[in-house]
Amino acid sequence: MGGQPKGLLPVPGSGEPLVVHSLRVSADAGYAACWLVGDLPAYDDVAGGLMLAGFRGRLGDDPAGVGPLGGLRALLMAGAQLGLEQVVAVACDMPFVTAPLLGALRTHASDAAVVAARRDPSAPWEPLLARYRPRAVLPALDAALSAGTRSFQALLATVDVARFEADGVTRALDDWDRPEDVRSE
pLDDT in tens, 165-177: 999 999 999 887 7
What is the sign, positive or negative, of the torsion defined by CA atoms of 24, 75, 46, 183?
negative
The mean pLDDT of 122-143, rounded to a whole number, is 97
How large a percentage of the chain has pLDDT more than 70? Answer: 93
48 pLDDT tier (thresholds 50, 70, 90): low
According to the model, what pLDDT value does residue 8 have?
84
What is d(CA 34, CA 121) in angstroms, rounded to the nearest whole number? 30
Domain boundaries defined on the chain: 7-177
The mean pLDDT of 106-131, rounded to a whole number, is 95
What fold characterizes domain 7-177?
A: Spore Coat Polysaccharide Biosynthesis Protein SpsA; Chain A (3.90.550)
Cβ neighbours of residue 120 under 8 Å, at least 6 residues apart? none
**pTM of the complete model beyond 0.85:** yes
Closest CA to 24 of 92, 70, 80, 125: 92
The mean pLDDT of 4-31, rounded to a whole number, is 85
